[in-house]
Structure formats: structure tokens, C-alpha cells
Amino acid sequence: MSTYTIITIGPIVKTFGKARKVKAYWSASYMFSWIMRELLKELAEKGYKVISPYYVSDLGNQSLLSQVGLFPDRAIVTKEVEELEEIKADLEEIKAKVIETLAKKIGGKSAEALEAYLQSYIYIYGFPLACTGEAEFVKGLNSRLDALELRQRAATGEDTQFKKLLASNNGFINSYLDVQKKEGGSARVPFETTSRIAVSGWLTDEEIEEYTRGEHEVAMDYARLSTEKRDSYRNCYKYLAVVKADGDSFGKFLEKLTEGQMQEFSRYFFNFSQKAAEELMRLKGIPVYIGGDDLFFFTPILRDESQQIFDLIEVVEKQFKDFRDKLVAEHEELLKELEKGEAQPLTMSYGVSIFYYKSPMAEAIDVAGKLLDRAKKSGRDRVAISIHKHSGRKIEFILPCKYSTKESEDKALYQEAIGLVRGYSADQEAMLDGLIHWLNEMFDLVITPILSNEKEEVKREQRLLALCKNFFDEEIHDKPDKKVFLGKVFNFIARLASKGHKAEEIKQLIYGLLRYCQFTTDKEER
């Protein structure tokens, strides 16, 4: 009998809830990726064919595999069996073996006691499905998996030791270090402290050690930094970002695939995950998890004083475009069918939560998830950003679509928005302060009537540029670079209006972008 078995593992959200330190988040995420990889290895050895995610015995690049989780929490395998009970028995046997290995890997001397707890805490659910034809392959798979995940049971035993192990130099952390040492790396512990991540795009490894006295759990000495490195110091080096990303419309696409096509898709996506992880790490990003169509990583706000978070997103987008181009080459008709009525069938949406290094990380991660939901509900293919200042002020905005095919969501708007940020420099601070104050006072009074009443695009743009010239005509605005920046701001307002964006939406976006510029160049907290 031909069968497909749908597998899900967890509890992921509950385990993240046990984490308090950055290292613990990395360990919790990596643990589930490791469990899935071990599970697929054991299933393959028992004669199961892995359809999704991509798996072969030699995945290569052991260094990368030791640094980031690349395997999702769901899998699909197939095998010819006489009875469905054979599959259930195999899964029970494999689960016991994997959990035993896991306990030894992270538990050390307390492995035996930890194993008993993990056997009741970790779940590995499988739903074997007998199929008579390939047409039934992915029909309803996700809903069945969702139902399986509701069957969580309460774990027995004490989890205090488990929490400590997640936050310690456990077996996963030590494996990472061993690979780094073999390759001649610096053997830095992943996810040390939030302040180390915050300055990692600015300071060298040696400088980080100097300003933390060489102690991994100690925060940066910001008082010394702001004094001794005054010229290059920026207040945003006390902040970092957690980024969550998710694919758009993947479910609809996957439902159309045959078994063979699903395997090919999984291989392409695994390659995308590897390349995205490599590029993120090259640019000082710290990927926690990149698997399936989900991404979760930390990043400093700036790298080398100029590279922005948006540069990391563009790197991911480039790798995603390469992945999508391969799909287009093989499934062009299917993608065209999905594009009917869609903004773009296969895109990525992002939630970016920027937070103070002393702020609760769990809260920042939760904000990133909510921002990702907002990005999707706002039309997908978007980047939603929140800056939660230490002062309590919150700045939030959503960027236009990145690659939309709809005329009303011109993809050039995204590049224009990012261009404003990249075109700003710290020596324009006084001009920017005045512009933000003016917009707060005058946007509703002066700009909104122009956007609402002037229906001709050319005249609307002319009136906005004339407004800019009339109000910003003092000596402080007279330098060419400042004139160019102001012109871009007002031209962007006109462009947004021409694509149907409402005045309040435009106001929030412009305000958010300008505040972001201010945030990345300020020397002190506002």
C-alpha cells in the first residue's frame, strides 16, 4: 500500500517561552532543526523516501549546518507498507532513539534524568495516509498538520534543568565551536549578549572584547564607548533588530505540485536557505532559523556606519529571486495561473522589530511576529518596521510592496523609500529636525488638501514642490544635498498619492522614514 506520512514536531512556541537569553533562543530553535534532521536520517535508513524538506545523507557545509537551523518543523515522507500501523511503530521507535541522543548531546551528566523529561515534553506526531493516486498528494496536508499540533500533552517532571541547558554552552553550542576551531575561525560563542550584537556592525571582535573586559555575559561599556569613540559613536548602537520573514502564497503553489515537483521545490528552497544564511552571516546578521519559507534572524542596526537593515533584506530578496527564477523556468504556467488576482504569488513579507539592548527579548520577538502579520494583511510583499525607543516612544511604518505586479503598487515606490534613507547623512540633522516638526504641524493643514483636491498628477506634484520651495527657503536648506533630499521627500509624497495611497497612510510612512533617518544618526537618546 502506497502511503504518505505527514510529520510535525514541537512544541516550538512553548520552548521559546522558556528562553530568556539570546543563547537560549538560538539553542531552542536549533534543537528542533536538529531533531527534524535526525528524524529524517532515521526514516531514510528505514527505507522512507523524503519528499519535503530536502534531505540527503551528505548535506555538505558542516560549518553552516552547525550555526543555523535549516530544517522546518514539518515533513512529508512516503513508503510502501502492508499496514499503517507499521509507520506508527517506526515513528515511536525513532522518536525514542532521537530523544535519547538529544538528551546525551545537551544533558551531559544529567542526560538520563533529562531524557525522561524530554520523552514526555517533545512531540513527534505522524499522520499516515493511504493514497490511491498522486492527485491526493498534498490535498489537505496543512489542515491535518494543524490538527496534529493541537494534540499537545502536558510534560511530566521538572523543566528547570532544561531551561538552564538551553542557556548554557550545551552540546549544540560546543559543536558549533568545534567546527569553527577546525576551520581556523575565532570560535566566538553564538548569541552572547544583545549589546554585543548591537555593536557587531561597528566594532571589531578585539574592540568588543576590550569594552566587555573579555567577559561574554557582560554588557558593553557604553559610557567608555561614547566618550572614547565619540566621532563614530551613534545611539543606535544600543539597539538591535529581530527580523521575521515568511513566504506569501506558498500554500496555494504547493497544493498544485506533484510528488516529484515537491521534491524539486524542496531542493531549491534548501539551497535558498543555505545561501541566505551565508549572506546574512557575511553581513553580521545572525540567523536563528531559515527553513521552509520562514526566516528568523537578529542583526545590528548599522554595519560599517552605512549598511542598513534594508541591505540585509535586499540580500535575502536577491537569493529569493534566484530561487523564484528557477521555479518560473519550470512552472511558468502554474505561476501565471496563481498570479491572476494576486499581487504576486511567491514573495516574502517581513516584520522588523528594533529594540533597546536591555529590553525583554521575548517582547521584541513577539512584536516582530505581529509586524509580519500586519505586512501580510497590508497587501503582502511588504516590510513592516517598529522602533521601540528606550524613552518609551514607538515609531511604526509599513513600506510599499517590493515586487508587486499591480499598477497601484508600483515596486519603484519601495526603492524610492529606501533611497530616502540612504540619501540622508548626519550633517543634515538640523534640517531634518525642522522638516519633521513642520510635517507634524502642517501636513494635515497644507498637504492633505492638495492630495485630496488636486486630481491631476502633474499639477499635484507641481504644487507640492512649490510648497517645499516656499517653506524651506532659509540658509539651512540652501546646500545642494539638502535641496535634493527635501525634493525627494515631496516628490515621494506626490508619487504615493498618484498610486492611490491615502493621506494618513502617506503621513505615517513619511514620518516613519524620517524618524528612522534620525534614529540611525543621533548621538544621544531622544
Over the stretch 113-122, which tens digit does the pLDDT of each residue have?
Answer: 888 888 888 9
Range ranked top by mean pLDDT from 132-136, 413-417, 471-475: 413-417
Query: pTM of the full predicted structure?
Result: 0.91
pLDDT exceeds 60 at position 179: yes
pLDDT at 133 over 60: no
Give Cβ neighbours of residue 39 (< 8 Å, ≥ 6 apart). 7, 9, 75, 94, 95, 98, 124
Strand arrangement of the beta sheet that strand 49-52 belongs to: 49-52, 74-80, 2-10, 123-130
Domains of the chain in sequence order? 1-168 (3.30.70.2220), 171-236 (no CATH), 237-405 (3.30.70.270), 421-525 (no CATH)
Rounded to whole angstroms, the Cα distance separating 37 from 139 reads 25
Q: What angle do CA 187, 191, 192 make, to 5 degrees?
A: 80
pLDDT at 139: 55
Element (H, E) at 93: helix 84-107
Strand partners, 349: 246
**Reported confidence tier of residue 504, pLDDT bands at 50, 70, 90:** very high
Dist CA 358 CA 194 (whole Å): 8
Please give the Cα distance from 283 to 304 (Å, whole number).
10
State how far the Cα of 470 lies from the Cα of 370, in Å rounded to an integer: 41
Q: Name which of 114-118, 138-142, 290-294, 365-369 the model is least confident about.
A: 138-142
Residue 87: how many CB atoms within 10 A of its CB? 23
> Which has the higher per-residue pLDDT, 176 or 525?
525
Does position 358 have pLDDT exceeding 60, yes or no? yes
pLDDT one-digit tens code per residue, 310-351: 999 999 999 998 988 888 787 777 666 666 655 456 889 999
Element (H, E) at 3: strand 2-10
Question: Nearest 5°: phi and psi at 512?
Answer: -65, -45
pLDDT in tens, 49-78: 999 999 998 887 777 888 888 999 989 999
* pLDDT of the residue at 343: 42
Q: How far apart are CA 525 and CA 390, in angstroms?
A: 8
Cell output for 15 = 520552548
Instruction: Look at residues 399, 490, 440 and name the one whose alpha carbon lies nearest to residue 498.
Output: 490
Pairing of the two strands 347-356 and 383-388 = parallel
Is the pLDDT at 141 greater than 70, yes or no?
A: no
Q: What is the largest CA-CA distance in the chain?
A: 85
Whether pLDDT at 140 is above 80: no
Dihedral in degrees, nearest 10, Cα atoms 458, 461, 464, 466: -60
